[in-house]
Amino acid sequence: MSGMLEQKLNAWFTHFHEHPEVSFKEWDTTKKLASIMEEYNIPYRLFGDVPGLIAEIGQGEEVIALRADMDALWQEVDGVFRANHSCGHDANMTMVLGALELLHRETLNRKVRFIFQPAEEQGNGALAAIDRGAADDVIYLFGVHLRPQEELPLGKVAPAIHHGAGLFLKGKITGEDAHGARPHQGRNAVDALFGIHQFIKSLYFSPYEPYSAKLTKLQAGGDSVNIIPGSASFAIDIRAQSNEVLEQLKDRIAEGLEETGKLYRVHVSFAFDDYIPAAEVSGEAAALVREAIIGTMGEKSLADEVVTPGGDDFHFYTIRHPGIKAAMVGVGADLGPGLHHPDMTFSPSALTDGAKVLAETVKLAANK
């Protein structure tokens, strides 16, 4: 079985890797997944107006769910911009399909749902899936993601990933242009930009709570160097390990932008965009994963829970449905140079590790 499983995993991964699609464009990926369900004679339902589907096996009112994200990044690879699965979502789909391969002939005491979700990279694909019933009646939810070398070595699996929260802000400064020789006649947007930069670097919270805020976009002025620009645009990337600290950062930044506008006599308009919540890990769900890791790979393969500053929209499922007990499995894969690097690679054996742990986790939860 192990050799046959590896062959299927490699075939599925190769297909997804060679046919990447960006967020909310994963239509061919959805067709491929539907064809796999038809091959296994497993009932499924398409989301319809957005890519993605859910498939189910087993019986019962309560649902154990596995979730995989489908989208690729749009990035420059060898000098050419294209869709690219440097995020590892091709591996996530493959591991969840591997769990399906191991489970579809099993007798399960609860219904098991396989969620294939679009647009994780945009941060709102989970919400689209939730709005289309993906989380209905779910009591346990498990996700999976390969981890970079600095977090987990190959052969180690973590029972949970504690992602941080993220929030993104887009803003515009409106002042008044002036001649370079007459700065007193204008309202300089560049001065306001530097004021904003200085302000966000002066934000302090408890050092025991990781957080950051940084300007990630600055645009002002044109080709003429003797015009003081009166307008500019900017963006801020805001991160925190907890949802509570992120909310505090959000409030302080909003207050500070308004005050900075007054200080420099410009109008600062802004909007918060693409919120990603921090992980709300269920101890009970993580305990089931821990038992599954030991049962399938041995205690030597059990790693500590991973704490990472990165984010994942997986955690919207528990925000929208607080009764769901959830954990995302972290799989060591000898992954380098890093997630989202255009040349990211990993060891294929990690796919088998992830599939086996997910399948065992589902069995434990379904028969609990």
Buried b (16+ CB within 10 A) or exposed e, 65-86: bbbbbbbbbebeeeeeeebbbb
CA angle, 101 as apex, 96 and 106 as ends, to 5°? 115
pLDDT at 364 over 80: yes
pLDDT at 368 over 90: no
Dihedral over Cα of 187, 193, 198, 203: its sign: positive
pLDDT for 3 equals: 83
Task: Give me the CATH topology for the region 2-163+279-366.
Answer: Aminopeptidase (3.40.630)
3-state DSSP assignment of residue 348: coil
pLDDT for 16 equals: 98
What is the average pLDDT score of the chain? 97
- pLDDT tens-digit profile of 78-103? 999 999 999 999 999 999 999 999 99
3-state DSSP assignment of residue 27: helix
Rounded Cα distance between 215 and 197, Å, is 7
- Output the CA–CA distances (angstroms, integers) from residue 100 to 69, 71, 109, 299, in the order listed: 15, 20, 16, 24
pLDDT for 1 equals: 59
- pLDDT tens-digit profile of 198-238? 999 999 999 999 999 999 999 999 999 999 999 999 999 99
> Rounded to the nearest 5°, which phi and psi values hold at 130?
-60, -45
Rounded Cα distance between 166 and 120, Å, is 13
Under 8 Å between Cβ of 159 and 286: yes
pLDDT at 362 over 70: yes
pLDDT for 166 equals: 94
Question: What is the percentage of the chain residues whose pLDDT exceeds 70?
Answer: 100
pLDDT for 274 equals: 82
pLDDT at 30 over 70: yes
Query: What is the mean predicted confidence (pLDDT) over 230-257?
Result: 97
pLDDT for 257 equals: 98
Q: What is the DSSP letter of 187?
A: B
- Output the CA–CA distances (angstroms, integers) from residue 78 to 115, 176, 337, 341, 343, in the order listed: 33, 42, 15, 12, 9
Rounded Cα distance between 358 and 365, Å, is 11
pLDDT at 146 over 80: yes
pLDDT for 273 equals: 84
Residue intervals of the chain classified under CATH 3.30.70.360 are: 165-276
Rounded Cα distance between 196 and 305, Å, is 36
- pLDDT tens-digit profile of 102-129? 999 999 999 999 999 999 999 899 999 9
pLDDT at 143 over 70: yes
pLDDT for 49 equals: 97
- pLDDT tens-digit profile of 53-80? 999 999 999 999 999 999 999 999 999 9
Question: Cis (ω within 30 of 0) for the bond into 337?
Answer: yes
SS3 percent helix, strand, coil of the chain, rounded to 5, is 35, 30, 35
Residue type, 196: I
- Output the CA–CA distances (angstroms, integers) from residue 216 to 36, 138, 233, in the order listed: 41, 38, 11
pLDDT at 2 over 80: no
Residue intervals of the chain classified under CATH 3.40.630.10 are: 2-163+279-366
Q: Tell me if the domain spanning 165-276 has CATH number 3.30.70.360.
A: yes
Rounded Cα distance between 240 and 162, Å, is 12
In the chain, which ranges are continuous DSSP H helix?
A: 2-18, 27-40, 89-103, 125-131, 189-200, 243-264, 283-297, 316-320, 349-366
pLDDT at 302 over 90: yes
- Nearest residue to 215 (alpha-carbon basis) of 225, 202, 230, 200: 200
Pairing between strand 157-158 and 161-163? unpaired
User: Which residues are paired to 171 by β-bridges?
Assistant: 234, 270
CA angle, 231 as apex, 227 and 235 as ends, to 5°? 130
3-state DSSP assignment of residue 295: helix
